[in-house]
Amino acid sequence: MFTEFLRTSIPGRAVTGGLVSVNLVNLRDFGRGNYRQLDDYAFGSGGMVLAAPQMKDALDSLSREPGRKPFVVYPSPQGVLISQEIIETLALQEDVAIICGHYEGIDERFVSSYVDLEVSIGDCVLTGGEIPAMLIVDAMSRLVPGVVGKGKAVIEDSFYRGMLDNPNYTRPYEWEGLKVPEVLTGGNEHDISRWRRREAIRRTLTRRPDLVSRASVREYISGVNVAVIAESENVDFAGLSETCNAYGAGRPYIVAGNRELREVMKSKIPSAKIVGSVGKILDTLGEGTMIVKAASSARRNALHSLEAKRMCLEHDGGVLFVFAESDEALDEVDGIEAYVFTDGNDVAMGVRIGIALDRFLGKR
């Protein structure tokens, strides 16, 4: 089953190019007795189960040097559903051993003692673990530098950023009465990029809304800014500018209602933009900017951060995240309110903002 697979397409390119090494181990070589027995009847009735001693012998044969053990993966219906995050974790391992089960599976004593990760490719029944193993090898190979011709192609794949891909079209322009969207033929790269971003969002929200909770929405929002309402001189801004920069939000805005406080803020955090009101920020960013007020508790009319995240995706414009020392200060600002932490008043403002931005903009 593996011979042609390892000679074909991306996995074949990875293997023949020496970028990925795949060692096929025949479990039958470790069978016991005249018939090279690998399995036996399940205790308590049932089908055949692969025996622990033979599986252990096969696994021991993979150890290249003392202390160097492979990361052991066992595809089975009882495993956690495989995801791009799991594939990325496996691709970081030096050695990965994928064990292909059969029949009723493998003796649980071997699984609990030697398997590092049990994964499932979905709620279906297969003859054995070979096809899931191929899936894992294929997905891992794509992440090895040099395997895929254009590194950008990997980044733009569905799930790599946590979202589904946009629709794609090719010639002919019209087929069975259906035409390619006009925006794709106009040649305006900005409009094309905007359309693709919008369609990726629409698809994800419609088909796989569960992905939104773990996806970074930064690439799908046209602009992100952060504003902090300063109510006193005592607010701790440690790391604020670094946090905003790390999440692509640029220089933060500090909103101070009176001149004296603004002067204090200028000396306290010179890298920030000091303004007198949130309205002044909107004058700069434009009326199409969506305001998300980050609260520290679930107040009346407040949204769960995931619901606010969906609204950010659906909004065709920039987003301004507004923070304050107290939730009451947020009442003076018009916008949607989302609760993102239980109680952050005793935590540095820069840390609170980092928590909130990571909920929305952090990598998967």
Query: What is the rounded CA–CA span in Å between residue 193 and residue 100?
Result: 42
Choosing from 95, 104, 156, 231, the catalytic residue is: 104
3-state SS class at 354: helix
Q: Is the pLDDT of residue 143 over 80?
A: yes
Can you tell me the mean pLDDT for 120-136?
Answer: 95
Q: Which of 29-33, 62-66, 228-232, 245-249 has the lowest mean pLDDT?
A: 62-66
Choosing from 13, 70, 77, 327, the catalytic residue is: 77
Can you tell me the mean pLDDT for 90-107?
Answer: 94
Q: What is the per-residue pLDDT for 199?
A: 94
How much of the chain, in percent, has pLDDT values that exceed 70? 95
Choosing from 130, 157, 199, 236, the catalytic residue is: 157
132 is catalytic: no
Q: Are 120 and 75 in contact (CB under 8 A)?
A: yes
Q: Which of 60-64, 136-140, 253-257 has the lowest mean pLDDT?
A: 60-64
Output the six-digit token pair for 85.
């995050």
DSSP count for the chain of H helices, then E strands: 14, 14
194 is catalytic: no
Q: Is the pLDDT of residue 345 over 60?
A: no
75 is catalytic: no
Q: How confident is the model at residue 218 (pLDDT cuts 50, 70, 90)?
A: confident
Q: What is the per-residue pLDDT for 158?
A: 55
Q: What is the per-residue pLDDT for 364?
A: 59
Helix then strand then coil, in percent of the chain rounded to 5, is 40, 20, 45
The structure's pTM equals 0.81
> What residue type is assigned to position 198 of the chain?
R
Q: How confident is the model at residue 152 (pLDDT cuts 50, 70, 90)?
A: low
Chain centroid to Cα 232, Å, comes to 38
| Tens-digit pLDDT profile for residues 163-177 | 899 999 999 999 999
Q: What is the per-residue pLDDT for 329?
A: 92
Average pLDDT, the chain: 91
Q: What is the per-residue pLDDT for 8?
A: 95
Q: What is the per-residue pLDDT for 189?
A: 96
Choosing from 142, 194, 198, 251, the catalytic residue is: 142
29 is catalytic: no
Cβ-in-10-Å burial (0-12, 13-18, 19+) of 198 comes to: middle
Q: Is the pLDDT of residue 280 over 80?
A: yes
Q: Is the pLDDT of residue 191 over 90?
A: yes
Can you tell me the mean pLDDT for 274-280?
Answer: 96
Q: What is the per-residue pLDDT for 153?
A: 58
3-state SS class at 199: helix
